[in-house]
Structure 1
Amino acid sequence: MMLKTGGAAAAIAIAFMAAASSPAFAQDAVTCGTDRTIDIAEFTWPSAAVLAHIHAKVLDAGFDCNVEIVTGDTVPTTSSMVTRGSPAVAPELWTSTVQEQWDAAVSDGTTVALGDAISDGTVEGWFIPRYTQEANPEITSAETAIANPQVFADPEDSSKGRLYTCPPGWGCELATGALFEAYDMEENWNLFSPGSGGALDASIARAFTREEPILFYYWGPTAILGKFDAVALDMGEIKPEVYACNTNPDCDEPAGITAYPSSPAIVGAAAWLPEEAPAIAEYFSKVGLTNAEISELLVYGDENQADAEATAVNFLKTKEDVWTGWVPAEVADKVRASLS
């Protein structure tokens, strides 16, 4: 994945690479490099929350950094990082919903992309259970699902179908609402807001457990897509300009039809981090996980009712073959010791 960089950001990258190639850097790699608190944004969806805790534990125990986990979400975290340099790190930043602001900040040298959070890209769209598609083989796309509201009847209003949308406050809420409007679904469908990510998960899990039809917005990697056999519907062509307008509350154009783009999910950081703590920047350049790897760790959390911190600890204990490749041996030893 190619990420846009501006002059200041490029200078940071060059300085970082030069530091990484020097003998002094290798000697200092086991120290944090900054006395500042490295605040890590814990976003509201499970994968981002778990990644925040994984990285916080490695930085705290392995690099002796002052670390704080802070509550965050895509839009407010990006704005705060740009204007205040805090939080220092967003470990799973989906840039598609803040693309213009993010690109401008990178170009201005206030933020920097340290690497990929999800190495094989994100998944986003409308899904149905495979058993529903097998019973209704004509439903392969958003259009064919919309043409069959009776298959996905709203339990509170059986005269209409129900589309489960994105939780309130997330960028995908705007995108899904715009598509609902663009597809002229108001007459035969209800757009149902679950109220939270947990409530959306519960609705999906209940439908799959009962083998009931459900049409729902979702994204990956997630425990839900790792646990249940869901089929992504064909959403048609990706139209970046349309999607940008659909997700911009100030856009005056009418909502348009577009597929959800596969958003780059990056490790975003305030520009001061690689300047003051090059060892930490190098660490974050290596931490990308695949969809399958993240889904696997999230299934553990789901099946064991483990919170983000406990799920992170399980990952560090059971996936040493993965994370020890991110750090020097001395750092790995210190992380292991902290887990015992």
Structure 2
Amino acid sequence: MKKLKTILFSAILVFGMTSFANACGKLVIAEQNWASAELMANVDKIILEEGYGCEVELVPGATMPTFTSMNDKGTPDMNPEQWANAVYTPLKKAVSEKRIIIANKAPITGLGEGWWLNPAALEKHPELKGMTAMQILERPDLFPDKEDPSKGAFMGCPAGWGCQLANANLYRAFEMEKKGWKLIDPGSAAGLDGSIAKASDSGEPWFGYYWNPTSMVGKYNLQPVDFGVPFAGRDNWDNCITLAEQDCADPKPTAWTKSEVNSIVSANFAKTGGKDVLGYVENRTYPGTVMNKMLVYMADNQAKGSDAAVEFLIKHEDIWTKWVSSDAAKKIKKSL
């Protein structure tokens, strides 16, 4: 009888420990289809599973479909990198109705969209240093177009991208054609990246649109340009700048809208994950420079998010250990 009690006590103890280890429960996280989002989702998976005993499933995602699914169906439980401007109004509504929680308002520092110069432009033409976009627009001669050197080349976005409309409307708002500029369509993402690489590798100036965090910004050290004019308001941006030309008759000069990226979670995430897990998401912030280095690593090594996550956790222990409890940190380090 005593032996039976001992066996039962041991079984209860083991069951209790197992239950405690998996107290976080099952969580579904979106692994979106670009490098930084892949990295973040896989880092979250390792940290939540190894550090907090969660059971994490990664599912494919993209900005709009992932948000729509979270808003309508409550799944996945987290989107680590939600670009908020793309869903500004419905996100605000979902948060007010408590379907979605913004767990982290800035999971990556130094991010944003806008206009950039490559270092070759600043080296070849030192007068560009400190210039605003409005001042640069007075100097198309510093960025001669290959096909028509009498025009300045401004590299826009490929057709079909949202930024293609924004750049086309800013081109009109700033009267760039009259000032001697040509708006170049790179044709594709590869064409846009190729224009930066070709110009930078040959020491030629490059001026155009890009965004951060990306491997291209990290690899070629692109420099953001201040527009030199204030943001002209959401009405001008949402109801003109981001629309097709026929729907934007009078675009007002404006700086690029402020880019906002959030880590958003479902109501179920907060309930199932618990306070410690939610606290981890609230704490984790990737320095922009480190994120760009990781994206360069992924590009150069054709690394998947799962491989890059391990690389990040091994190389940047000084960063991620500040996001978690000391107990969780020990477990995560032991698992690597």
Cα 1:252–1:160 change in 2 (3 A) is: closer
Matches within 5 A, 1:22-171: 31=22, 33-35=24-26, 37-44=27-34, 46-118=35-107, 120-139=109-128, 140-155=131-146, 158=149, 160-166=151-157, 171=162
- Please report the TM-score for the alignment, with normalisation by the length of structure 2: 0.78
Give the SS at the match of 2:322.
helix
Distance in 1 of aligned mates of 2:334 and 2:191: 37
User: More deviation in 213-222 or 300-309?
Assistant: 300-309
1:335 equivalenced with 2:332 (yes/no): yes
The AA in structure 1 aligned to 2:242 is T
| 2:257 alignment partner in structure 1 | 261
The AA in structure 1 aligned to 2:142 is V
User: More deviation in 155-164 or 105-114?
Assistant: 155-164
8 A contact 2:24–2:55 mirrored in 1: no
User: More deviation in 266-275 or 154-163?
Assistant: 154-163
Distance in 2 of aligned mates of 1:272 and 1:321: 31
1:296 equivalenced with 2:293 (yes/no): yes
**Of 172, 178, 190, the match for 2:183:** 190
Give the SS at the match of 1:326.
coil
8 A contact 1:63–1:331 mirrored in 2: yes
| 1:220 alignment partner in structure 2 | 212
Give the SS at the match of 1:216.
strand
| 2:5 alignment partner in structure 1 | none
8 A contact 1:38–1:87 mirrored in 2: yes
The AA in structure 2 aligned to 1:319 is H
The AA in structure 1 aligned to 2:95 is V
Distance in 2 of aligned mates of 1:291 and 1:153: 31
8 A contact 1:118–1:291 mirrored in 2: no
8 A contact 1:149–1:189 mirrored in 2: no
| 1:284 alignment partner in structure 2 | 281
8 A contact 2:120–2:200 mirrored in 1: no
User: More deviation in 123-132 or 241-250?
Assistant: 241-250
**Of 220, 229, 232, the match for 2:224:** 232
8 A contact 1:121–1:263 mirrored in 2: no
The AA in structure 1 aligned to 2:94 is A
Q: Which has the larger radius of gyration?
A: 2
The AA in structure 1 aligned to 2:201 is T
Cα 1:214–1:303 change in 2 (3 A) is: same
Number of positions where the alignment pairs a residue of Structure 1 with one of Structure 2: 310
The AA in structure 1 aligned to 2:237 is Y
The AA in structure 2 aligned to 1:142 is A
Deviations 1:122-172 (A, max 9, x none): 233111123313433454232343344443344455564433334566544
8 A contact 2:214–2:295 mirrored in 1: yes
- Please report the TM-score for the alignment, with normalisation by the length of structure 1: 0.78
User: More deviation in 301-310 or 102-111?
Assistant: 301-310
The alpha carbon displacement at 1:248 in A equals 5.5
Give the SS at the match of 1:100.
helix
The alpha carbon displacement at 1:208 in A equals 1.0
Structure 2, gaps ≥5 residues long: 1-17
Structure 1, gaps ≥5 residues long: 1-26
| 2:12 alignment partner in structure 1 | none
1:201 equivalenced with 2:190 (yes/no): no
The alpha carbon displacement at 1:220 in A equals 2.2
8 A contact 1:29–1:328 mirrored in 2: no
1:274 equivalenced with 2:270 (yes/no): yes
The AA in structure 1 aligned to 2:46 is K
Cα 1:247–1:311 change in 2 (3 A) is: same
Cα 1:174–1:59 change in 2 (3 A) is: farther
The AA in structure 2 aligned to 1:210 is S
Identity %: 31
8 A contact 1:32–1:280 mirrored in 2: no
